[in-house]
Amino acid sequence: MMKSSAFHGLKQLLTQSLFIKVWIIMFLVEFVKGSLLVTILPVYMGHVLKFSAFAIGISFALQYIGDNAFRSPAGWLIDRMGFRKTMTLGMSLTLVAVAVMAFSKNASLMVTACGLLGVGTAPLWPCVMRGLTPDSGRNEQFGLAMGVIQISSLGGTGAGPIAANFLVGRSYTAVFWILLICVGIVIMLSLKLPSHTGKSTKKDGHEHEHLTKNIQHLFRQIRDHLHISWLLFPALFLQTFAIGLITPVITLYVRTELNLSAQMYSIMMIVGGGLTVLGLIPVGKWVDRVGTRWFLHAGFLLAALSLGGLAAVRSLPLIWTIVICLSISYAFILPTWDTMLSHLLPEKERGTVWGLFLTVQGSGMVLGPILSGKLWDRLGPSAPFWASSAVMGTLFLIHIMLTNTHKGREMAEG
């Protein structure tokens, strides 16, 4: 019965024109970013253009900062300009950024292009989240929709580096042209998005006042209508901070501390990622039916135990067990977390609030890698994993406190 219901819900989603466009846009943008950030730019800028490690580091930092810092402004623009103009503007900047990377060999221009890539792709998640959120009430299939969207995101992020690795050996020019074509397709799809989002885009008298007064009015409106616990904001930060702590060091740790071969590591990544992807749709459907509380409780606790285990064990069977548990934990967390956030949105300024949530959340991915290297150097290779485990444990406790409040109980039960 549940399987049939999930299939029916998935079939309904896949008949919605807006959802299909958003799904394809998500895949292609993550495909382009994955190709550039994981495979192309580190090698191209270092080995081909002979840029310094400092220039490469600055480039990547600007990309992450641009993506994160402009999510809130992107959400604000969605509420006023609509999906079509906001996404098209962002993707046009992305096209310019990729074109500069493809045809320029100047270090300053390449660094600027990386920052522009972050700014251009910043509207992606606010547009997606706002598009899945109705103007009033709740989307009863939000969990399922997020599961499918996460598959698109993870699929693009994984497929991009694989395709780029295959093509880079032949020609960097060919790879860049493929990426430019992908962004061109995204722009064409963006032009087909709705021109407005509904009630929240209507102007009131405040829209004609001075910009400073508009911004003051906006934050007053968010403060008055966004009735949430202050604990949500550290939770938003910690959710990605835990990932940021291990992202820069996971490959080095697996190869040097766990002594796994590149082939075994690749197999683990494929199996782990596959398990997460397989779990996203059924978990999303269950979340729509029973609420988010227990999935997030289980996900955070299982992630904390798994990351601690990864820091402690050296036996291959135990490592495999941990990889499987970690994959399951993220299948629980990914669609459920965003569903929980969707239940907290006020009636007005939904795009702006999504942008605010995503900015706070994304800051963890900016600061996590910075602390990760310090922990590795000063406390040893296992330290980032113990720290990430502690962060997930803290999230588990925060989530318990959130769901014990009146608003939290309403939110968790959906």
Taking residue 200's Cβ as centre, other Cβ atoms within 10 Å add up to 21
Contact 156, 30 (CB under 8 A): yes
For residue range 14-31, list pLDDT tens digits in order. Answer: 556 778 888 899 999 999
Q: Is 350:77 a contact under the CB 8 Å cutoff?
A: no
Summary mean pLDDT of the chain: 81
Top mean-pLDDT range of 172-186, 212-226, 270-284:
172-186
* Backbone angles phi and psi of 189, in degrees to 5: -65, -35
Q: Which long-range contacts (CB under 8 A, 24 or more apart) does 307-310 make?
A: 307/242, 307/246, 307/385, 307/386, 307/388, 307/389, 307/392, 308/385, 308/386, 308/389, 310/385
pLDDT at 226: 59
C-alpha of 184 from chain center: 22
Q: Per-residue pLDDT averaged across 183-190, rounded?
A: 95
pLDDT at res. 162: 79
Distance, in Å, from the CA atom of 277 to the CA atom of 281, rounded to the nearest integer, reads: 8
Q: Which is more confidently placed, 351 or 93?
A: 93
The more confidently predicted of residues 305 and 284 is 305
- Asked if pLDDT for residue 414 goes beyond 70, the answer is no
Q: Where in the chain is the domain with CATH 1.20.1250.20?
A: 16-195, 216-414
What is the value of pTM for the model shown? 0.72
Helix axes 172-190, 142-168, angle to 10 degrees: 150
Each residue's pLDDT tens digit, 348-401: 666 677 777 888 888 888 788 778 888 888 899 999 999 999 999 999 999 999
Q: Provide mean pLDDT across the span 157-176.
A: 81
Which CATH fold topology does 216-414 show? Answer: Growth Hormone; Chain: A; (1.20.1250)
Q: What is the arithmetic mean of pLDDT over 120-145?
A: 74
pLDDT, position 12: 61
What per-residue confidence (pLDDT) applies to 69? 83
Helix, strand, or coil (residue 13): helix
**Residue 106, exposed/middle/buried by CB under 10 A (0-12, 13-18, 19+)?**
exposed
Q: What is the CATH number of domain 16-195?
A: 1.20.1250.20
